[in-house]
């Protein structure tokens, strides 16, 4: 525990201010230097980003210093009151003011005072206008006497170190989830992606300012949420029913210029919203629409009669696209027959694109394990060997 001297309390404001301003002068020189380099090399975006980085860092340092000055002004006013109390105690206890020490530089209830070899506890009224001095015997008297103010490394924002670390962890986790899910960005393509974005943002925003949650606990929370997300992706990839329940499926809203009102209302699309979405695609009359599909992410894709028909894949991820199949006037038996003729199993197809004549499908298969193309057998000498099938 620290005990502060009268000199420390009475000289608590800006005793190291010149050091801080020297740091800011150095930052200003760096900003000016990077700015000159940037203006000489405007075609190189590296120098632009570096210049912006130094400007933002300089603004951060100015904000930290401004906050520190405001805190010091408040602390200075309170320290002046503490210095007056220390002088008063010095007179009452007949002790030199240089031998009077306090446990805190601002007035507060339960404040401990050391005057010479004796210890006292200050008790204040609610308005901190009157005090009583009571003798006390602290259990631990191993106090550290502080006489001079030391350099405050918090000028570099170290008091926000926990928040900075949590932000970095959150940033890394968001990048990892985007890259591992193969999205490339946070734009949602289904309900799980939307939920992932909302919840991940809520976790990061709610935790970074909560000092009761450590960085390790924060990482554990993010890992738990990531496990839930990727588990849901695995489950939906294995079950069509769960996939439709969680992510939904494409719905035909307009077919041959006729609106399927029941489907639109079931999906929560009213007339004004449908008209707005068609206008954003440059379509003014729904009767011009040959086909319009409400996708899983809530967007509408439409084609008109004067446009070339969009040929969507009829097989994706080993499953038949029911919407495309119905649009082309086919059934599952016909598609399975075409697939069987190519000696391929439906579950092994990554994408199947229907040709214009509707009698053939261009198939892209999943990559196969090379080991499946070989077999192990014994030769005439009873030795094992690997042979291509």
Confidence class of residue 199 from pLDDT cuts 50, 70 and 90?
confident
Q: Which CATH number fits domain 249-307: 3.10.50.30, 3.90.1150.10, 3.30.240.20, 3.10.20.30?
A: 3.30.240.20
Nearest C-alpha neighbor of 170 from the set 204, 210, 202: 204
The per-residue pLDDT for 30 is: 83
CATH fold label, 311-389? CRO Repressor (3.30.240)
Confidence class of residue 21 from pLDDT cuts 50, 70 and 90?
confident
| Annotated domain spans of the chain | 2-154, 157-243, 249-307, 311-389
The per-residue pLDDT for 371 is: 46
- Lowest-confidence range among 57-71, 141-155, 247-261, 323-337? 141-155
- pLDDT of residue 79 exceeding 80, the answer is no
Give the DSSP H/E element, type plus range, for residue 352: strand 349-354
The per-residue pLDDT for 336 is: 85
CB 58 within 8 A of CB 51: no
- pLDDT of residue 305 exceeding 80, the answer is no
Mean pLDDT for the stretch of residues 201-205 = 78
Confidence class of residue 12 from pLDDT cuts 50, 70 and 90?
low
Q: How far apart are the first and last CA of the chain?
A: 79
Which pLDDT tens digit goes with each residue over 103-125? 887 777 778 888 888 888 888 87
Which pLDDT tens digit goes with each residue over 179-198? 777 665 556 666 677 777 77
> Rounded distance, CA 114 to CA 67, Å?
32
The per-residue pLDDT for 185 is: 59
Q: How far is CA 131 from CA 69, 83, 99, 101, in A?
A: 29, 14, 20, 17
Confidence class of residue 19 from pLDDT cuts 50, 70 and 90?
low
Confidence class of residue 358 from pLDDT cuts 50, 70 and 90?
low
Confidence class of residue 152 from pLDDT cuts 50, 70 and 90?
low
The per-residue pLDDT for 75 is: 58
Confidence class of residue 22 from pLDDT cuts 50, 70 and 90?
confident
- pLDDT of residue 15 exceeding 50, the answer is no
Which pLDDT tens digit goes with each residue over 227-240? 888 888 778 777 77
Mean pLDDT for the stretch of residues 284-298 = 81
pTM > 0.75: no
- pLDDT of residue 214 exceeding 70, the answer is yes
Nearest C-alpha neighbor of 269 from the set 242, 248, 246: 248
Please determine whether the domains at 249-307 and 311-389 fall in the same fold group of CATH. yes
For 64-83, give the DSSP string: HHHHHHHHHHHHHHHHHHHH
How many percent of the chain have pLDDT more than 90? Answer: 0
Which pLDDT tens digit goes with each residue over 365-380? 887 655 445 555 666 6
In 3-state terms, what secondary structure has residue 389?
A: coil
- pLDDT of residue 381 exceeding 50, the answer is yes
Label the pairing between strands 374-378 and 258-259.
unpaired
Looking up tokens 């170290």, which residue turns up? 158
């Amino acid at each position: 525990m620290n005990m502060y001297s009268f000199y420390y309390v009475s000289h608590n404001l800006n005793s190291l201010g010149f050091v801080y301003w020297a740091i800011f002068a150095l930052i200003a020189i760096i900003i000016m230097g990077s700015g000159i380099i940037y203006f000489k090399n405007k075609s190189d975006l590296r120098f632009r980003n570096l210049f912006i980085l130094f400007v933002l860092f300089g603004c951060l340092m100015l904000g930290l210093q401004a906050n520190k000055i405001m805190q010091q002004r408040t602390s200075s006013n309170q320290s002046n009151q503490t210095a007056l109390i220390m002088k008063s105690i010095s007179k009452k206890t007949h002790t030199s003011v240089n031998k009077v020490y306090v446990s805190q530089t601002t007035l507060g209830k339960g404040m401990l005072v050391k005057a010479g070899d004796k210890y006292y506890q200050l008790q204040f009224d609610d308005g901190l206008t009157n005090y009583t001095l009571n003798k006390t015997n602290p259990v631990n008297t191993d106090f550290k006497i502080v006489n001079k103010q030391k350099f405050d490394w918090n000028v570099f924002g170290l008091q926000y170190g926990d928040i900075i670390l949590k932000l970095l962890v959150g940033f890394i986790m968001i990048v990892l989830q985007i890259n591992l899910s193969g999205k490339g960005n946070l734009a949602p393509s289904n309900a799980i992606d939307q939920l992932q974005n909302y919840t991940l943002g809520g976790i990061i925003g709610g935790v970074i300012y909560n000092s009761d949650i450590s960085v390790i606990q924060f990482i554990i929370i993010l890992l738990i949420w990531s496990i839930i997300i990727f588990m849901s992706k695995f489950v939906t990839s294995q079950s069509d029913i769960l996939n439709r329940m969680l992510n939904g499926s494409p719905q035909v809203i307009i077919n041959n210029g006729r609106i399927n009102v029941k489907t639109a209302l079931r999906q929560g699309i009213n007339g004004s919203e449908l008209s707005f979405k068609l206008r954003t695609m440059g379509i003014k009359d729904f009767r011009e629409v040959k086909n319009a599909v409400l996708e899983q992410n809530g967007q509408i894709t439409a084609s008109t009669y004067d446009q070339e028909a969009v040929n969507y894949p009829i097989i994706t991820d080993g499953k038949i696209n029911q919407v495309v199949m119905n649009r082309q006037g086919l059934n599952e038996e016909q598609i399975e027959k075409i697939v069987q003729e190519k000696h391929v199993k439906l579950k092994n197809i990554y994408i199947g694109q229907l040709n214009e004549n509707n009698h053939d499908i261009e198939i892209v298969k999943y990559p196969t394990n090379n080991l499946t193309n070989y077999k192990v057998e014994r030769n005439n000498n009873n030795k094992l060997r690997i042979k291509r099938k």
